[in-house]
């Protein structure tokens, strides 16, 4: 697959776009004021134990305390691998998953006490009103390996499909492993030489030992280790095997990437290009248009159908509609074609928008079980390109598909947008007619408050509301004038919000 990384760097924001065959597949945005915390290691302090939730809050120096589940303290290798999203975590056949280093108690109050110092790693960024989610099981990723200091398992990425290569990597890990740590061979380790793997093991162990030494001195809470920024993470995680070249528009970042590669992966230097064109780099690669499309609620399909994407705090709903497409032969064939096209687009949009958590997809109802199976399989096939773990359940007779996708940070839409100040994020505003009647009620309140006797009543409203009050709803004004024996003068004010009504009654 032809893939490129396009990196746009400004003073306060870095954007990384992954292009597959020239099409935007993934987008990562990092701002200096909103850097991702995932992978950071902190020395924190247990702030509050919550026995009823079997969890606790940990003060790690952020505005909101981090959340630590008991399962993230109690040693369970499989849950740990899933929690941190380590790609393809899989124990070797020779190793067991149950090698706890702490008492196998599931009661949080038996494991931790308030005020206790504890080393934790951020597994999920703060999302919405929630604090970060943390784990006591640290992982340190390198290019080829992941070091698991709190475990002694060996693992190989499931993305490495060759059984011969998997067996080779298992043998290398057994021969070169540094005890008592656990190790995972990442996808990038496919084809790596034993010397490279051994050198990376030595580096990661030294890094872990320096983190432990740092934890022995200094105030609490504090940051012990910061994960690489978005540019170097992209180089480390995507350059080998997946990406043909990286194009970046910042000379300073270009030099920094070359220095990073010289120290770690010198043979990949030729993949880095400095963009020197006058046109903005994302415009030159037609990325800005795709970003705008990723922020829209309605996505049109080539057939004329469309999908609607609605994000809430708890889940995301995706609705498939026939739109302008009317088909050629019969209803079942028409619906099947729209649903198949929608399945591919939905998988693409989920990956591009980085949607996570629970996702409910409402396909158009299909009568035949075979049609439902075809659409479900098309969705699963399209999701295989996604690096984030997904679970897709069977389609119901109503065409509903429930799925989950691992959420580590906010989706692109929530990163780039904020709730509308006019509708408070509801997506709806009150109609002009509704605002007219509310204005009439507000006029009545003010006159009643000031008393019937008095001069003219001056009312300032938005021009749209003023026009309707003076034209279509004029009878309402005249009724108030007769009732209170006062003249009501309407003045349009374009500076006012549509909902605002300024009444001056004396």
CA distance 367 to 369: 7
pLDDT of amino acid 378: 95
Apex 92 CA angle, 155 and 185, nearest 5: 20
Residue 8 near residue 282 (C-beta atoms within 8 A): yes
CA distance 92 to 75: 18
Residue 119 near residue 215 (C-beta atoms within 8 A): yes
Angle between helix axes 432-450 and 474-484 (nearest 10 degrees) is 10
β 117-124/140-141 pair status: unpaired
DSSP at 387: S
What residues pair up with 404 in beta bridges, in sequence order? 358, 391
259: Cβ–Cβ under 8 A, 6 or more apart, which residues? none
202: Cβ–Cβ under 8 A, 6 or more apart, which residues? 178
Q: How many Cα atoms within 13 Å fall on the side-chain side of residue 154?
A: 20
Element (H, E) at 207: helix 194-215
Residue 309 near residue 353 (C-beta atoms within 8 A): yes
CA distance 91 to 224: 29
Going from the N-terminus, what domains does the chain have, and what CATH number goes with each?
A: 3-34+230-284 (3.30.420.60), 41-225 (2.40.50.140), 297-416 (no CATH), 432-504 (3.40.1260.20)
Q: Is the peptide bond before 366 cis (omega within 30 degrees of 0)?
A: no
Handedness of CA 379, 384, 387, 391 (dihedral sign): positive
**pTM listed for this prediction:** 0.73
Longest CA–CA separation in the chain, Å = 97
CA distance 310 to 299: 12
Angle between helix axes 474-484 and 463-470 (nearest 10 degrees) is 70
First-to-last C-alpha distance (Å) of the chain: 75
CA distance 338 to 305: 6
Question: Is 89 exposed, middle or buried (CB count within 10 Å of its CB: 0-12, 13-18, 19+)?
Answer: buried
pLDDT of amino acid 451: 67
β 390-392/182-185 pair status: unpaired
pLDDT of amino acid 167: 92
CA distance 463 to 477: 16
Per-residue confidence of the chain (506 residues) as pLDDT tens digits? Answer: 578 999 999 888 899 999 988 889 989 888 877 788 899 999 999 999 999 989 999 999 998 999 999 888 854 444 444 434 444 444 433 333 333 344 445 788 888 899 999 999 999 888 877 889 999 989 999 888 999 998 888 889 887 888 999 999 999 999 998 888 999 998 878 888 888 889 889 989 999 999 988 888 888 899 999 988 888 888 887 776 668 899 999 999 999 999 988 877 777 888 899 999 888 999 999 998 888 888 888 999 988 889 999 988 778 999 999 888 766 677 888 889 999 999 999 999 999 999 988 999 999 988 888 999 999 999 999 998 888 889 999 998 888 999 999 877 778 887 788 777 777 777 777 889 888 988 888 888 888 877 656 688 899 999 999 999 998 888 888 888 888 888 889 999 998 888 888 988 76
CA distance 478 to 498: 22
CA distance 352 to 415: 13
CA distance 459 to 322: 47
Residue 144 near residue 194 (C-beta atoms within 8 A): no
């Amino acid at each position: 697959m032809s893939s490129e990384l396009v990196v746009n760097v400004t003073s306060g924001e870095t954007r990384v776009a992954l292009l597959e065959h020239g099409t935007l597949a993934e987008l990562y945005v990092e701002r200096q004021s909103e850097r991702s915390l995932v992978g950071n290691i902190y020395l924190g302090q247990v702030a509050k134990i919550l026995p009823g939730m079997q969890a606790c809050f940990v003060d790690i120096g952020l505005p909101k305390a981090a959340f630590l589940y008991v399962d993230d303290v109690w040693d369970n290798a499989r849950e740990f691998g899933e929690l941190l999203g380590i790609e393809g975590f899989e124990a070797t056949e020779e190793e067991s998953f149950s090698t706890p280093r702490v008492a196998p108690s599931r009661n949080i109050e038996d494991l931790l006490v308030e005020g206790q110092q504890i080393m934790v790693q951020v597994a999920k960024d703060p999302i919405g009103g929630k604090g970060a989610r943390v784990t006591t099981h640290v992982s340190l990723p390198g290019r080829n390996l992941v070091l698991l200091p709190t475990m002694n398992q060996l693992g190989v990425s499931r993305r490495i499909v060759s059984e011969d290569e998997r067996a080779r990597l298992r043998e290398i890990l057994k021969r070169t492993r540094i005890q008592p740590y656990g190790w995972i061979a990442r996808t990038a380790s496919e084809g790596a030489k034993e010397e490279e793997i051994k050198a990376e093991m030595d580096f990661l162990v030294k890094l872990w030992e320096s983190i432990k030494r740092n934890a022995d001195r200094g105030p609490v809470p504090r940051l012990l280790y910061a994960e690489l920024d978005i540019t170097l993470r992209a180089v480390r995680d995507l350059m080998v095997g997946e990406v043909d070249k990286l194009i970046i528009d910042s000379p300073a970042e270009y030099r920094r990437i070359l220095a990073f590669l010289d120290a770690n992966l010198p043979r990949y230097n030729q993949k880095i290009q400095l963009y020197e064109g006058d046109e903005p780099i994302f415009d030159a690669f037609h990325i800005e248009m795709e970003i705008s499309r990723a922020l829209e609620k309605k996505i049109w399909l080539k057939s004329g159908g469309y999908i609607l994407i609605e994000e809430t705090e708890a889940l995301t709903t995706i609705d498939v509609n026939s739109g302008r497409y009317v088909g050629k032969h019969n209803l079942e064939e028409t619906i099947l074609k729209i649903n198949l096209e929608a399945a591919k687009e939905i998988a693409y949009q989920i990956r591009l928008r980085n949607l996570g958590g629970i996702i409910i997809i409402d396909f158009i109802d299909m009568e035949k079980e075979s049609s439902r199976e075809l659409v479900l399989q098309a969705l699963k096939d399209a999701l295989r390109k996604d690096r984030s773990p997904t679970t897709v359940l069977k389609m119901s007779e109503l065409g509903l598909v429930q799925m989950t996708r691992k959420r580590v940070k906010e989706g692109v839409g929530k990163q780039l947008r904020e709730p509308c100040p006019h509708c408070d994020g509801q997506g709806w505003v009150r109609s002009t007619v509704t605002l007219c009647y509310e204005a009439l009620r507000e006029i009545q309140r003010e006159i009643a408050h000031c008393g019937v006797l008095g001069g003219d009543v001056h009312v300032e409203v938005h021009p749209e509301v003023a026009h309707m009050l003076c034209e279509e709803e004029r009878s309402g004004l005249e009724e108030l004038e007769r009732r209170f024996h006062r003249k009501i003068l309407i003045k349009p004010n374009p500076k006012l919000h549509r909902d605002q009504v300024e009444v001056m009654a004396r």
